[in-house]
Amino acid sequence: MAKLTPMKKYIWPLLALSLSFCDEKALPPEAILPVPNERQIAWQEMEFYGFIHFNMNTFSDREWGFGDEKPEQFNPTDLDARQWARIAKEAGMKGLIITAKHHDGFVLWPSAYTEHSVKNSPWRDGKGDLIREFVDACREYGLKVGIYYSPWDRNHPDYGKPEYITYMRNQLTELLSNYGEIFEVWFDGANGGTGWYGGANEERKVDKFTYYDWPTTHELVRRLQPNAMMFSDAGPDVRWVGNEHGFAYETTWSNLMRDSVYAGMPDFDKWARGQENGTHWVPAEADVSIRPGWYYHAYEDHKVRSLPELMEIYYKSIGQNSSLLINFPVDTRGLIHEKDEAAIMEMAAKIKEDFANNLAKGASFSASADRGKDYRAYLLSDGDFNTYWTTPDGQVEASVELDFGKAVTFNRILIQEFVNLGQRVKAFSVEKQLNGNWEKIADGTTIGYKRILRIPDTEAEKIRINFLDGKGIPVISEIGVYNAPPLLFPPKISRTPEGKVNIQAAEEGLQIFYTLDGSTPQPDGNLFSAELAVTQPTTVKALVFDPKTAKSSAVKQVDFDLPKVFWKAVGATEDVQKAFDENPGTFWTSKTNELVVDLGQSVNLKGFTYTPMQSRYPSGFIAEYSLEVSEDGEVWKKATRGEFSNIQNSPIEQSVVLDPVPARWIRLKALRTTDGNAATFGEFGVVTK
């Protein structure tokens, strides 16, 4: 063996020591509490799953049944749960949740504890079990099974008494014992109010903090379904996102001070985003229906969400640290409607298109610092969530650089934290380099399980993601860069009270084609160039066409009734015109809790619409109403009375169908508002066609 020179005698041991440090396996970073448990980890990997709203409301044409419905009303003609499962699977969903019991109390399985059940319906000659059919269909298509159960029951005579809690737990035991593994048990937050209650026909209020004795019910679920997530407004496993638009927030924490807000969530605007210093891991679930309503209504067949709307929901839910739960209002046949199926398939195809090519796969990664060979930046594009890049302890600020080796164009950046060790990032920014110059192109706050940034088309040779602040060192699992093809937005259609219709595209250089006869517009049809006079009940349909790409948007449809130019309010202030100015963005507050309108002519009234106040700080939503009509303004006749169910959580246009009645004067009374304040009117309309 050759003898080492004095210089080599010192260099080689130092080099060997250095190499030994490089090869030494670094310890993983310590978790920052709270962290998800095993069932929450499995749930977050699902990301996207579906709701099935199908129950008695489907046949009573309501959103919330009163509880006095008869089992005989439930009678789907062509029910096929396999169709539901097939559509969900093809759409990329990982599971389905079904409304086993809604507020009206009717149950979809032959429960031993009530007669208000499918067992007393004509469907399957009273021998059917819809939960069984649903479960079998989901398992056939590889979908996980979830159960929605409403704690409120407007049918049961014991609701509000201790005996009802026993009833509720007996039914939960049936559902959670007889149908195999359940991935989520969904408890609705609506509790107490008016109802049939076995014929009592009264209002019953409960203290939702104490009445249900939730800890005992949670223990029951844990014992029967240890792997099931439990959803409610605030947990305990997954929380409501705080709206029914399907949107999470720019800043969304999975942390929550669960013990202080659970069962109440008195201020969703304050707590729905989660809390940086939250004590428990309670991630957000964004729920939204593919139509305005949760249950099927034929008059909403043309109101299925467009592809741009659905993609906006995708990016603001899954793209902002939330799961996404999209609802299908199954129709009276027992099928997902063809238009709903077409819409969700368009969405699934667009998601695949947007994320078809990850440009980060061809980039070289480097970082300002790393923790060692098992935590280096190249792991950020390996497609494995369980590998991650991180920094030495204490180094909260750090950056990751992607070098594409050439100029590339992109408009989406995806980042995932390894949240199994806690959610950490509080602030980050993104820079691009082109021709040697660095420029900031985006910034953000939280990341969480998944954050997707949408930016304008950007050209860069390199990008750098800077982690600027956090609860601890950054622990990043994946980074993706994509160039999503553009998407044409349907046009906006509006009308003035005088009957002038305007149609607008979202961008310049696009053409608009329309029809007024109910037919589908075509790119070689009527080209919109100026306002249209629409003074009779008319269906306006329009699409946007891009002559450069020869692509068309989805069709937008608006049903206009009589123009409101000759309408006059009776006994109200001047700004009452805001209640029917064809602009839902304005509103009028009624000191008398009613709106009286002279239509200027006698009409054959077939219904009316009410849009609640759309302002940022809404108030005075009408919860219960009565509608009266008159032909002379003196003698009034009651036309209908009812409630706008769920209007607090879903403040959209409410449509009420009437048996035709002659009317010139109309009086809409607010019998109760959601917050007890004076009634507000965003927009009032009539239906005569």
Class level of CATH domain 492-560 = mainly beta
pLDDT over threshold 70, residue 516: yes
Among the listed ranges 7-21, 454-468, 593-607, 640-654, which one has the minimum average pLDDT value? 7-21
Rounded average pLDDT over 444-454:
98
pLDDT of residue 262: 58
Whole-angstrom distance, CA of residue 453 vs CA of residue 482: 10
Tens of pLDDT, residue by residue over 156-182, are 999 999 999 999 999 999 999 999 999
Same fold yes or no, 359-482 and 568-687: yes
Q: What homologous superfamily is domain 359-482 in, according to CATH? A: Galactose-binding domain-like (2.60.120.260)
> In the chain, what are the domain boundaries?
42-166+175-338, 359-482, 492-560, 568-687
Phi, psi for 387 (deg, rounded to 5): -105, 150
In CATH terms, the superfamily for domain 42-166+175-338 is Glycosidases (3.20.20.80)
Q: What is the pLDDT of residues 116-157, one digit of tens each?
A: 999 999 999 999 999 999 999 999 999 999 999 999 999 999
Q: What is the pTM of this model?
A: 0.92
Q: Within 10 A of 284 (CB to CB), how many other CB atoms are there?
A: 24
108 contacts: CB under 8 Å, gap ≥ 6? 54, 55, 98, 99, 100, 101, 117, 118, 129, 130, 131, 134
Amino acid at 198: G
Give me the CATH code for the 568-687 domain, please. 2.60.120.260
The model's pLDDT over 49-63, given as tens digits with 9 standing for 90+, comes to 999 999 999 999 999
Q: Is 258 exposed, middle or buried (CB count within 10 Å of its CB: 0-12, 13-18, 19+)?
A: buried
What pLDDT digit, counting tens, does each position of 565-617 carry? 999 999 877 799 999 999 999 999 999 999 999 999 999 999 999 999 998 78
For the chain, the straight-line distance linking the first and the last C-alpha, in angstroms and rounded, comes to 103
Give the three-class secondary structure for 37. Answer: coil
Round the average pLDDT of the chain to a whole number and report it.
Answer: 94
Q: Do residues 183 and 95 lie in contact, with contact meaning Cβ atoms separated by under 8 Å?
A: yes
Report the candidate in 474, 470, 466 with the shortest Cα–Cα distance to residue 417: 474
d(CA 288, CA 242) in angstroms, rounded, equals: 11
Q: What's the half-sphere exposure (Cβ side, CA atoms, 13 Å) at 402? A: 26
